[in-house]
């Protein structure tokens, strides 16, 4: 186990050094842009996203029955991941008219279908869990 930790530490140090060397090759305006985006991302996460997630989680625990908490949390996490993945391309279909192969799909429809599938799976998982619980003697 110690050897694995040492290898992971060495890999982490090497990756950190590699990333730092790539950053040092950037111009000063690009470095400032990286710093602004990095700082902004952390602040946005810690000041907005994390408290919002905590509030939604607390509200969901008060609203949803206890049996739905785990499945609901899985569905919420998957939905947030889909939103974060889809956000850059939603409403930007055919954004580059000179290259019709870029953003050439109906991303909003795909996003809605994906979210519906996620929540259908949440409901299906809960139905299966209830049937298993009914069949299990206590």
What six digits make up the tokens of 94?
């055919």
**138 sits in which H/E element:** none
pLDDT tens string 36-50: 999 999 999 999 989
Distance CA 32, CA 83 (A): 28
pLDDT for 138: 59
Evaluate if residue 3 carries a pLDDT over 70: yes
Distance CA 119, CA 126 (A): 11
On whether the pTM is more than 0.85, the answer is no
């Amino acid at each position: 186990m110690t050897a694995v930790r040492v290898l992971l530490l060495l890999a982490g140090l090497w990756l950190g050094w590699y990333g730092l060397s790539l950053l040092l090759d950037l111009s000063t305006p690009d470095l400032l842009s990286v710093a602004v985006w990095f700082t902004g991302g952390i602040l946005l996460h810690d000041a907005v996203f994390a408290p919002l997630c905590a509030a939604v989680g607390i509200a969901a625990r008060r609203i949803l029955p206890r049996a739905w908490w785990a499945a609901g949390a899985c569905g919420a996490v998957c939905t947030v991941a889909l939103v974060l993945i889809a956000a850059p391309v939603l409403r930007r279909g055919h954004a580059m008219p000179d290259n019709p192969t870029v953003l050439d799909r109906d991303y909003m429809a795909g996003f809605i279908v994906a979210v519906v599938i996620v929540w259908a799976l949440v409901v299906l998982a809960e139905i299966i869990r209830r049937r298993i619980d009914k069949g299990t003697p206590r």
